Amino acid sequence: MKKLVIVHAGLSRPSSTGMLAEEIAHAVEAQVTNRGEGLEIGSVAVVELGRELATLMSTGVYGEALRAAIDEVCRADALVLATPVFNASYSGLFKMFIDALDKDGLTRVPVVIAATAGTPRHALVLEHAMRPLLSYLRAIVMPTAVFAATEDFGAREDLRRRVHRAAQELAGYLVDVRQAVAGFVPEEEDVAPRKANRVTDVDAGITDFRELLRGHDGNGRP
C-alpha cells in the first residue's frame, strides 16, 4: 500500500488550509481506490513544529517531533503541500519546514500544491512561488494546483472540480505513471469541447490583409 502525506502550514484550529489539503487527499484516496489500489494517508501540521523549526534554524539541532515529521515526509510516495498566503507568497512557517528537509528529500516525489487566501487576487502564488520552489527541489509537481479564496469555500462546485482534477492527476501517477500523461488523464466531464482554429475559418466581413496592403511599398507610403 502506498502512502500519501499531507503537509499544511495553516495556523488556526480548525484550519481552512488543512481542510483543503485533507479534501484533496481524500479525493486522491477515492481515485486510487477506484483503480483497485489502497492508499494510507498521513498528516503533518507545521504549526505544531514551530518551536522546533525555530530551534533548528538558530542552532542546527533537530527536535524529536520535527525529525519524526521529516521522516514521515521522506517515506511518502506522494505529497499534498498546502500553505496560507502571507505577503503574496507561501508562509514563512511553510518555507522553514521545506528548508528543514534534506536537499534531495523531495526528488521525484509527485506533489499536489495548494494554497488558501482571503482574496482570489493571490491565486498566482501557486505558479510564481510554490511551483518554482518545488521544481527547484526536483519534485514532480502535478499540472493542476488548487487555490481557494474565502469565497471559494462557499462556491463548492467550482472548488470540487479543481480538487477532483488534481486528485485524478496524482492518483494516475501513483497507480500507473503511463496513465498519467504529463500527470493527467482527463475525464470527459473535465474537458470542454475544443473549437476549430483553422486558417480558413475567417469572418467574411473582415477585409483581407493583402487587400489592406494593396498599393503600399512597405515604407508607409501609398
Quick check: is 70 in a domain?
A: yes
**Most distant CA pair in the chain, distance:** 81
pLDDT at position 120: 86
Closest CA to 82 of 108, 121, 116: 116
Cβ–Cβ < 8 Å for 80, 28: yes
Pairing mode, if any, of strands 110-117 and 89-90?
unpaired
pLDDT at position 23: 96
Cβ–Cβ < 8 Å for 106, 160: no
pLDDT at position 12: 87
pLDDT at position 164: 95
Range of the domain at 53: 2-190
Cβ–Cβ < 8 Å for 78, 39: no
Quick check: is 214 in a domain?
A: no
**Which one-letter amino acid corresponds to residue 150?**
T
Quick check: is 41 in a domain?
A: yes
pLDDT at position 153: 76
Cβ–Cβ < 8 Å for 103, 135: no
Q: With the C-alpha atoms ordered 118, 88, 138, 55, is the resulting torsion angle positive or negative?
A: negative
Q: What is the DSSP string of 26-90?
A: HHHHHHHHHTT--EEEEEEEGGGGHHHHHHHHHH-PPPHHHHHHHHHHHT-SEEEEEEEEETTEE
Quick check: is 200 in a domain?
A: no
Please give the Cα distance from 124 to 145 (Å, whole number): 10
How many helical (H) and strand (E) elements, i.e. helices and strands, does the chain have?
A: 8, 7
Residue 20 host element (H or E)? helix 16-34
Quick check: is 55 in a domain?
A: yes
**Which one-letter amino acid corresponds to residue 206?**
I
Quick check: is 203 in a domain?
A: no
Q: What grid cell was written down for 74?
A: 521522506
Cβ–Cβ < 8 Å for 37, 175: yes
Residue written as grid cell 493542476: 144
pLDDT at position 57: 95
Cβ atoms within 10 Å of 54's Cβ, excluding its own: 12
Quick check: is 37 in a domain?
A: yes
| Average pLDDT per block of 10 residues along the chain, 222 residues long | 96 91 96 91 97 96 97 96 95 97 94 94 93 96 94 79 95 72 45 43 62 66 56
Quick check: is 59 in a domain?
A: yes
Close Cβ partners of 71 (under 8 Å, ≥ 6 residues apart): none
CATH, residue 84:
3.40.50.360
Q: Within 13 A of 103's CA, how many CA atoms are on the CB side?
A: 1
- The count of domains in the chain is 1
